[in-house]
Amino acid sequence: MSQTYPATGYIHSVETFGLVDGPGVRYVLFLQGCAMRCRYCHNPETWAFTQENTKTPQQAFDAACRYQNYWRNNGGLTISGGEPLLQMDFVSEVFRLAHAKGIHTALDTSGQPFAPENADWMARFDAM
């Protein structure tokens, strides 16, 4: 019998009252990891992957929900980075949990790992 494990998210930091990462007040989850190395990157400190702060999707979602009194009626949850699409399984599951509760989501991405020629990847992306 096979056992499945939840995707692990490599978290850089959070912003509990973000005003510039989507409509309204946002809980912003900044993920680790990005290969782009853009010269004028807003978050170069998020480029490296480390295991210093990892969470399951449920743990990350529960942490966000502790602040929902601030953003529930006029805002939501944004996942940024780094490059969040490098952790697509984690992002997809956090968004699935949010959508099940009617919470607005936003994704802040460079689109660098975008793979439109890969049908499986696109199906996972569309599900977000």
pLDDT in tens, 103-122: 999 999 887 777 778 788 77
Q: Hey, which residues does 105 pair with through a beta bridge?
A: 77
Q: What is the pLDDT of residue 3?
A: 46
Segment 84-99 mean pLDDT: 94
Mean pLDDT score of the chain, rounded to an integer? 89
Residue 92 lies in a domain: yes
Compute the distance between CA of residue 85 and CA of residue 58 in angstroms, rounded to an integer. 18
Q: What is the pTM of this model?
A: 0.88
Residue 107 belongs to what H/E stretch?
strand 105-107
Q: Which DSSP string corresponds to 2-53?
A: ----PPPEEEEEEEEEESSSSSSEEEEEEEP--S---TT-S-GGG-S--SSS
CATH code of the domain containing 47: 3.20.20.70
Q: Which domain holds residue 32?
A: 9-127
| Domain count of the fold of the chain | 1
Segment 2-26 mean pLDDT: 86
